[in-house]
Amino acid sequence: MGYQCIIRGKAIQSNETTAKYVICGAMTHKKCIDEEILTDAIGDYLCPYCAIISALDWLDSILTYYSNSLSKEQGEDILSRLKSYLNTLEKSQ
């Protein structure tokens, strides 16, 4: 097949069950993904990067449109979680 799993970095053998990501076209072993997290609304596979970008685009739309309707406590809760996500991402770099 000549593909490498983008999750584990190992070669994908022709006899292994695979998933091909709809946006970037990358491949992975099907056993390496959590389908509940890495599929879109119609069941197409998304790589971790594409899934995060799609989620951020969705979050941006929600925050832009509805942020004024949040209570102060709700806004603080969301801000705290976003800071935690940034901290996690910074540690992984």
Block mean pLDDT (10 aa), the chain, length 93: 84 90 88 87 88 91 92 95 94 89
Q: Is residue 2 part of a domain?
A: no
The pLDDT, as a whole number, for residue 75 is 92
Q: Is residue 1 part of a domain?
A: no
Identify any residues that bridge with 27 across adjacent strands, giving them in sequence order: 20
The pLDDT, as a whole number, for residue 25 is 86
Q: Is residue 13 part of a domain?
A: no
Domains in the chain: how many in total? 1
The pLDDT, as a whole number, for residue 57 is 93
The pLDDT, as a whole number, for residue 3 is 86
- Helix ranges (H only) for the chain are 48-66, 72-92
Q: Is residue 10 part of a domain?
A: no
Instruction: Determine the structural domain holding residue 84 and report its residue range.
Output: 18-92
The pLDDT, as a whole number, for residue 78 is 93
The pLDDT, as a whole number, for residue 90 is 94
Residues 10, 4 contacting (CB under 8 angstroms): yes
